[in-house]
Amino acid sequence: MHRLLLCFFLLSVLSCPAAEKPNILFIAVDDLNDWEGCLGGHPQAKTPHMDRLAARGTVFLNAHCQAPLCNPSRTSLLTGLRPDTTGVYGLAPWFRTLPEFAEVVSLPQYLRQQGYHTSTTGKIYHGGYGRGKKDNEFDVLGPPSSVGVKPEHKLVDTPAKHPLVDWGVFPHEDKDKGDWQIAEWAAKELDKKPEGPFFLSIGFFLPHVPCYATQKWFDLYPEETLQLPVITPHDRADTPRFSWYMHWKLPEPRLKFLEEANQWKNLTRSYLACVSFVDAQVGKLLDALERNGFQDNTLVVLWSDHGWHIGEKEITGKNTLWDDGTHVPLIFAGPGVTSGQRCTKPAELLDIYPTLLDLAGLPPNAALEGHSLVPQLRDAATDRPWPAITTHNHDNHGVRSEHWRYIRYADGSEELYDHRKDPNEWTNVAADPANAAIIADHRKWIPAVSRKPAPGSAHRILLYENGKVNWEGEDVPEGAKIPEYDD
């Protein structure tokens, strides 16, 4: 009798229709900081569709990336492994070229193994990674990521002359942009009413540079009323010199250039315009979910790979361990997620993989280094014992708890900020003896051992060995002038 009951139970489980698993809409936005209405990073940001998603789900107000650079951040999220585990810190290598990690089961791969039909379009992995036939990630490959139409000549003469580091408005149409095209493709996929469960991943390129917008989006942010990011003069006076090595020679210009070239407002306006344009593309996806009857049985997660500075800490771009470089939007909505919640507990992009498995009722993947956010998705006030840990290059770490940010660089120098008093991270209080216990409590989360950069590491690689700083394969002389800052 017991054997008969067991057989009946197993047959009933195996015959459960696949549609009982929720669909998953996975939305990535490249280089998107916290300039959304629901996060309040910029008081004038207009993002009605991301805000509507947040209203019907839970938005994490204190979510942070694992690395403030595209490839290591996305590699970490999609593999569930920290950068100091894989040694992937730069824009190369692709983790599947590393023998130790070649067979790691990524999030889309795991879902595919569990019966999900997986599709992708745009930028999910960095560059073209993950789009090869041998990767076994996706059943369907939609259009790849692209900038779309470009002006005949660069609009802004930046110091580094990099062709992608550009911004502004020029005559073109929204339909000419790569992000418009991938949103159209994804919406049409949903209009086909695919049988579940499906995993549809969409990776938007903007507001990554070049920040080109059409005039209609520029007009949302009139120059005469535009608010610039709030900064304080000489903000780097109390930060260690090593903080400059994190972005030693990069194509993204310093604040000094923006001010001297009268480009600060133009970049701010361009970035906001691109954010609003991408928000409209997100709206297309949400509308397609609703009109096809998928809203109630589809988990939606929206995230960005890292933040972006627009003058804060006297720089532009990423590659930092401050909130401006690590703070990202992270929104969940759908079955199992309480609506209208705003969670202040620290969260990591690393947590997305285990959270989706948990919400979907799938077996956990024991190899993952993140933690499910389901307790907070049910009740945002639920305590969370882990901080958010960000790593940039070998042995540089930031630890973000609910009220504090702690940074330790490879040379041992430190920063500490009290977010209850100093949300802009203007005053480094690491040297105050009264904060010794706070530093000790945060320092314990720093990895005891960090893997050296993986073979094939390239682009934005920083090393510190035997008291010497090495940037991109070249030693930095002691006391060298800070590029584009001391000049």
> Is 117 a known active-site residue?
no
Cα radius of gyration (the chain): 22
Pairing mode, if any, of strands 330-333 and 298-304?
antiparallel
Report the phi/psi class of residue 234: left, alpha or beta, with left for phi > 0 and alpha for psi in -120 to 50: left
Task: Tell me if residue 22 falls in helix, strand or coil.
Answer: coil
Catalytic residue among 42, 49, 64, 70, which? 70
Q: List the catalytic residue out of 126, 309, 327, 394.
A: 126
Nearest to 182 by CA among 381, 30, 309, 341: 30
β-strand partners of 37: none
DSSP state for residue 52 in the 8-state scheme: H
CA-nearest of 71, 213, 73, 206 to 150 is 213
Query: What amino acid occupies position 376?
Result: Q
Cα 57 off chain centre by: 19
Contacts of residue 52, defined as CB under 8 A and 6 or more positions apart, other chains included, come to 283, 286
Cβ–Cβ < 8 Å for 167, 155: yes
Asked if residue 272 lies in contact with residue 44, where contact means CB atoms within 8 angstroms, the answer is yes
Respond yes or no: is residue 397 known to be catalytic: no
Inter-residue contact 457 to 90 (CB < 8 Å): yes
The angle formed by the CA atoms of residues 152, 156 and 157, to the nearest 5 degrees, is 105
- Euclidean distance between the first and the last CA atom of the chain, given in angstroms as a whole number: 84
Query: Helix or strand or coil: residue 107?
Result: helix
User: Which residues are annotated as catalytic?
Assistant: 70, 126
